[in-house]
Amino acid sequence: MINPADFESGQIMLVNKPFGWTSFDVVKKIRCLLEKKEGKTIKVGHAGTLDPYATGLLILCTGKATKKIQFIQDTEKEYTGIIQLGATTPSYDLETMPDKTFPTEHIDSEKVQKVITQFISTQMQVAPIYSAKMVEGKRAYDLARKGESVQLNAHPIVITAFDARLEENYQIIFRVRCSKGTYIRSLAHDLGIALQSGAYLASLTRTAIGEYLLTDALTPKEWETKLLASVTI
């Protein structure tokens, strides 16, 4: 049970982010709802960005609970989704159109299972150039969208679980558990290379952040209904 009067003292809100929304869109929506409910501005921040083309668990912290954001961000994440084999996109996902195609006839379930075990480890990963990484004071995605050259350094990540199965049309259905800072788009891209083909992320849902689960989250619309209700929630 959440008491709206406690949002300033600090609450953790679990939101099921819709497809097409940015993480800031969700923060802005909840902030506006709280302001309407409380009659004053309440501080709101999120504990880990989700790309616009991803869905799933986004954790918002309000008021004094924003001090917990870094702790929550440092916990392990879980994702599910679909990786499309046989092509690549500049953004490594659906934000951009496929720019190259690759053979897939040599890929079977046995090969997929063998290759994914290589990724369950501590490793160095390079973020997509279409990411929020800072490059000389500018966002990498802003430079990429302008057609400028972007160089990003590799950073350490940990993949603790990687389950996958090959489906029709050379799509891989997967579940991944990983450390903070892991880009699943880059994982999809690297998997394509490891399979001697190409790949991009066709869909992504974040299902868990530490102990917090997507099954306990509400959509922005559901939060709106609860926050603007006349009874205590």
Strands (E), the chain: 12-17, 44-46, 55-62, 77-85, 87-88, 100-101, 122-125, 134-135, 138-139, 155-166, 171-178, 199-209, 212-213
Cβ atoms of 54 and 174 within 8 Å: the answer is: no
State how far the Cα of 206 lies from the Cα of 215, in Å rounded to an integer.
11
Cβ atoms < 10 Å from Cβ of 140: 20
Place of tokens 């509400």: 218
Task: Dihedral sign for Cα 77, 124, 139, 193, please.
Answer: negative
Task: Dihedral sign for Cα 192, 196, 197, 198, please.
Answer: positive
Among 51, 93, 108, 216, the active-site one is 51
6 is catalytic: no
Q: Which residues are catalytic?
A: 51
